[in-house]
Amino acid sequence: MLKRPRRNRKSEVIRNLVQETVLLPQNLIYPLFLIEQPKEKHEIHSMPGIYRQGKFCIFDEINECMNLGIRSFVVFPVIPNELKDKTATFGVKNQFYVQTLKEIKTRFPECCLISDIAMDPYSSDGHDGIVENGKIINDKTIEILVKMALLHAEHGVDFVGPSDMMDGRVLAIRQALDANGFEETGIMSYTAKYASGFYGPFRDALDSAPKFGDKKTYQMDPANAREALMEMELDNQEGADILMVKPALSYLDVIHRLKTNCYTPIAAYNVSGEYAMVKAAGRNGWIDEKKVRDEILISIKRAGADMILTYFAKEWALDYKNQNF
Ligand code: PBG
């Protein structure tokens, strides 16, 4: 035997020397759920350690994260059901969500703040688009998404994050941003977002599950990967700054394909159901939760994600700081 791969696994220092993938706090984006009551904080039942919280709690959370090296955040609004309607009217108003976005950037100018562009948090139908006769109407939805994007840009976000999967929305948003002097506001596009069972806990958190049907006429079929490349091509042509694959774990091949087929940075969303499964099995003593968490995060990075949106961000960064690996 001339080649014995085990020689490079002999000691920790050699293993570290040959390590191909490194994860750093700066690669992580922490999703936060905002409620209107400024000082309230409620744990999400299916996502232990993750809260729906008011702005003051969010400021504290961001402060803690910044000290741990997590400096990028995506914020989702939790909207009371009585404020939801068919056209997501509340989403284009000057309300607590956009005001808080602005306050975050004022208090933490050095953070990277990403907003959510989609109708579902505000939609009485629980869909990401306008529903007419049981159908999701693409182009009318885009008009609303564009208004949201301009509103968020005015309130100072670094990126808007269209998570809706309507066709052509990246171009429409890019043109509107540019026409209104927001050339510096970026677009983190949910490029390949699959119609997934892994979003369950998120929809519980927002109470945003579809009131009828499913999201298969706009979110992608889990069986398709070539189609993700088409979405990639479109988003690149339409001016997206970052392309996202979502969920992450069942779609590592898709992350890899996007990474090797274009030069735009790739994000992966390690979604709520992926987090909940690890937490649940960990609590039952069925897996070593931290070991599995670290393996999941490094696998997403190894597949090609430059950055990872993950509910593990804060706890992982805390362990990273204390080197509890
Ligand atoms: C919809 C949206 C979803 C998530 C974020 N924005 C999924 C959906 O309801 O279709 C899921 C995030 C997660 O599960 O962590 N605009």
pLDDT digits (tens, 9 = 90+) for 286-302: 999 999 999 999 999 99
Question: Would you say 54 and 35 are in contact if contact means Cβ atoms under 8 Å apart?
Answer: yes
Active site includes 301? no
pLDDT band at 225 (very low <50, low <70, confident <90, very high): very high
Q: Is 81 helix (H, G, I), strand (E, B) or coil?
A: helix
**Cβ within 8 Å of residue 11, ≥6 positions away:** none
Residue having the nearest C-alpha atom to atom 6 of ligand 1: 163
Q: Which of 176, 117, 168, 116 is nearest to 138 (CA)?
A: 168
Half-sphere exposure of 72 (CA within 13 A, CB side): 17
pLDDT band at 152 (very low <50, low <70, confident <90, very high): very high
Does some domain include residue 8? Answer: no
Does some domain include residue 7? Answer: no
How far does Cα 30 stand from its chain's mean position? 8
Question: Would you say 60 and 32 are in contact if contact means Cβ atoms under 8 Å apart?
Answer: no
**Mean pLDDT, to the nearest integer, of 101-111?**
98
> Whole-angstrom Cα distance, residue 193 to residue 48?
24
Does some domain include residue 257? Answer: yes
Atom of ligand 1 nearest to the CA of 199: 14
Q: Which domain holds residue 208?
A: 20-322
Residue having the nearest C-alpha atom to atom 16 of ligand 1: 163
Mutational pocket test of ligand 1: of 79, 163, 277, the residue with most ligand atoms within 8 Å of the beta carbon? 163
Q: Which of 193, 176, 181, 180 is nearest to 239 (CA)?
A: 176
Q: Note the pLDDT tens digit of each residue in 186-209.
A: 999 999 999 999 999 999 988 899
Q: Is the pLDDT of residue 146 over 60?
A: yes
Distance 199 CA to ligand 1 centre (A): 6
> Whole-angstrom Cα distance, residue 320 to residue 8?
24
Atom of ligand 1 nearest to the CA of 271: 15
Q: Give the CATH number, domain containing residue 79.
A: 3.20.20.70
Residue found under tokens 């069986």? 223
Does some domain include residue 90? Answer: yes
The residue type of 180 is N
- Lookup: tokens for 53: 């919280």
The residue type of 194 is Y
- Is the pTM for the entire model greater than 0.85? yes
Does some domain include residue 254? Answer: yes
pLDDT band at 183 (very low <50, low <70, confident <90, very high): very high
Q: Is the pLDDT of residue 86 over 90?
A: yes
CA distances from 67 to 22, 26, 62, 160, 324 (A): 20, 12, 9, 24, 17
Does some domain include residue 9? Answer: no
Q: Which of 279, 135, 101, 122 is nearest to 207 (CA)?
A: 122
Distance 194 CA to ligand 1 centre (A): 10
Domain count, the chain: 1
Q: Is the pLDDT of residue 211 over 80?
A: yes
**Mean pLDDT, to the nearest integer, of 145-149?**
98
Q: Is the pLDDT of residue 279 over 90?
A: yes
Q: Which of 169, 184, 187 is nearest to 244 (CA)?
A: 187
Residue having the nearest C-alpha atom to atom 8 of ligand 1: 199
Residue 259's pLDDT is: 98
Report the percent of the chain where pLDDT is more than 90: 98
Question: Would you say 119 and 91 are in contact if contact means Cβ atoms under 8 Å apart?
Answer: yes
**Cβ within 8 Å of residue 222, ≥6 positions away:** 194, 195, 196, 250, 251
Residue 221 gets which letter from DSSP?
P
Atom of ligand 1 nearest to the CA of 201: 14
Roughly what angle, to the nearest 10 degrees, separates helices 252-261 and 226-238?
A: 50
Active site includes 3? no
Give the E-state strand segments of 68-121 in sequence order.
72-77, 112-117
Mutational pocket test of ligand 1: of 199, 245, 274, 312, the residue with most ligand atoms within 8 Å of the beta carbon? 199
Does some domain include residue 4? Answer: no
Mutational pocket test of ligand 1: of 84, 202, 220, 309, the residue with most ligand atoms within 8 Å of the beta carbon? 202
Residue having the nearest C-alpha atom to atom 10 of ligand 1: 199
Residue 324's pLDDT is: 56
Q: Is the pLDDT of residue 325 over 90?
A: no
pLDDT band at 85 (very low <50, low <70, confident <90, very high): very high
pLDDT band at 323 (very low <50, low <70, confident <90, very high): confident
The residue type of 44 is I
- The binding-site residues of ligand 1, defined as CB within 6 angstroms of any ligand atom, are 118, 120, 128, 163-164, 199, 202-203, 208, 215, 271-272
> Of residues 55, 193, 279, 314, which has the active-site annotation?
193
**Cβ neighbours, 10 Å, residue 233:** 13
Does some domain include residue 226? Answer: yes
Q: Residue 324: phi, psi to the nearest 5?
A: -85, 55
- Lookup: tokens for 170: 């990246």
Distance 282 CA to ligand 1 centre (A): 23
Question: Would you say 154 and 100 are in contact if contact means Cβ atoms under 8 Å apart?
Answer: no
Report the percent of the chain where pLDDT is more than 70: 99
Q: Residue 47: phi, psi to the nearest 5?
A: -130, 75
